[in-house]
Amino acid sequence: MPYINSVDRYQIQMLSLDERVEQDSEVRVIDAFVNSLDLKKLDVAKAVPALEGRPAYDPRDLLKLYIYGAQNEIRSSRKLEKACKVNLEVQWLVRGVRPDFRTISDFRKVNASAMKKVFHAFNQLLRGQLTNEFLSVDGSKFFANNSKDRNFTMSKLDDRISWLTGHHEDYMRQLDQADRLEGSTLHGSFSEEELKAKIKESGERLERYQTYRQMMEEEGLSQLSTTDPDARLMKMRNGFGVSFNVQTAVTSESHMITDFNVTSDVTDYGQLEPTLKSYKNEYCKDEILEAVADKGYQSAEDIGKCLEEGIAAHVILPDGKDTCEIELPYEEAQDLHPESKAPEELKKCLRAGIIPEAYKGFIESATVTEKMCRVTEGASLIRTSPFVNTLEMKIKAAEGYFVRDPQRNIVYCPGGAQLRQSYVTKKERIRYTNKQACRNCPDRDKCCRARKGFQEVEFNKDEFCKPNGNWLREEGKEVHFHRSEVKREKRKVVTLVIRPDKQKMAQRMCLSEHPFGTIKRSMNGSYFLLRGKQKVEGEFALLALAYNIRRAKNQFGTQKLLELIAKATHIFCSIYKVRVKMRAVTVITVKNQPVSLIKAMAW
């Protein structure tokens, strides 16, 4: 049988771009949505064209281009430039213009802060069509535009400085040896010129690393990323990577992203209230917003803030527990309104030990008790070390103690190394460690007997000296603790017993994991191209918007979604079907005049 007949590529065809694009294509939704926006109100640059100078590209075209690129794995400005020349859907979408890659890139950088407003504008269009029973909050790590070699911790800098110092001294020794040989070199050794170049290079790197370490100590930084200062080294599923932690709130019915928050925090601990607060204030002012989250969000302080804002947070509890306790400071109040759902009234009732009617069933009990609390005002915050200077600390450490220097926030160990802060526990205790120093320690067997092969020491802010039990046990010395005085007093607190809804919590994984998986795999959005938290937030807004548009199209269909956009933009029209050239075309009648849908959107 003959092959399928092909088209003569040299034959002239009388076809418009519109005839080449499918009627239910996503580009028609993107086009209608962007044309319905008031870009000036959304603070998009060049929303009003300048009267003088060279004409600029329409920001609507560039915005459409980025949304299409986010949906179809075309994210870089150079690939988007190429798509404007070879992709028929893109040509239809941007009406045949061919902007340069720098123009495309600059649009995203300049309008990074406006992208989140565009994202919320699409969600606002669908507010009447979606029923949000509750929200699911979760976080995921996205790679930042910063390699691991450009990320430094104190321990990493200590190791590199020690390594470079040794190599620098070795190069100097080889140079002195070459001078003594009067120009001749040993077999396999570097020449005099090569040694001078290596000495210069190692000296510059050593000076740079010492500057980094000094800056981190002065500013109290735990990490330093030189390419993207806002990015942090985080533990991910397949190891560690320099990333951002993106928090999303997903609706239980439509699985669409309602809001998000880009953070530099390495864990999800304490992220519930910051993620949900803006959505609550914007859309649920006089209603109780329900949300579910996993065990990583189990922060009593964070859940308490959510309750005061009108957010019922169902956080998954540890195995074997059905309830959790939240403590709030007691505040006596009069003229309470337990029936109100306003955040001000909820906060007053909760701190007075009264359960608001909106929380009945979620909060089982509220009791007012007295307990001893640490006073954290005034002079009690001043914590002084019993050691006068660094020399005294090192002498004490050599006796078999871990000595903490509160000024530099480091710990001297009995082996003479410096332990750096690794993280702060949930009980606000600082954990110090130095894995590399422990591996190279000559007294490792005497000092560290942990299975992990390195020593970890915890201090609270009032502790300055701790004994090394293994060391002192062999030395036969006495154990001494040095603490500053802590002022405590009796205070009233409100203890709330909360019972989360297990049925809602069981749906959490099905809700939160789906958008992250789609963005990372289907849309190639597992990494960021821009740098800085503000620009990264704008980049993720484009990804979330592209996901929501595709999700809405799958739920409603292209035709109904276009009708919803038209109604939301206050265009009262009648939609009917006509046949033109044996093809269904959507026509809108505005003031009895048939016009295209795109033109109607522009009105």
Whether this prediction's pTM lies above 0.95 is answered by no
pLDDT tens by residue, 511-539: 989 999 999 999 999 999 999 999 999 99
Q: Is the pLDDT of residue 110 over 90?
A: yes
**pLDDT for residue 595 is more than 50:** no
Task: Quickly list DSSP for 491-523.
Answer: EEEEEEEE---HHHHTTHHHHHHHHHHIIIIIS
pLDDT for 485: 53
pLDDT bucket at 303, cuts 50 / 70 / 90? very high
Lookup: tokens for 116: 């989140």
Sign of the CA dihedral running 26, 28, 29, 31: positive
Lowest mean pLDDT among 233-242, 499-508, 591-600: 591-600
Single-letter amino acid, residue 404: R
Residue 152 buriedness (CB in 10 A; 0-12 / 13-18 / 19+): buried
pLDDT band with cut points at 50, 70 and 90 for residue 585: very low
* pLDDT band at 11; cut points 50, 70, 90: confident
For residue 544, what are the CA distances in angstroms to 24, 275, 404, 517, 520? 21, 15, 45, 12, 11
Q: Which tokens belong to 353?
A: 């030990």
pLDDT at 245: 96
* 354 vs 332: CA distance, rounded Å: 11
Give rounded-to-5 percent helix, strand, coil for the chain. Answer: 40, 20, 35
| pLDDT, tens digit (0-9, with 9 covering 90-100), for 237-295 | 888 999 999 999 999 888 999 999 999 998 899 899 999 999 998 888 888 999 999 99
Least confident of 102-116, 147-161, 424-438, 518-532: 424-438
User: Given this model, what pLDDT does residue 574 score?
Assistant: 36
Half-sphere exposure of 98 (CA within 13 A, CB side): 6
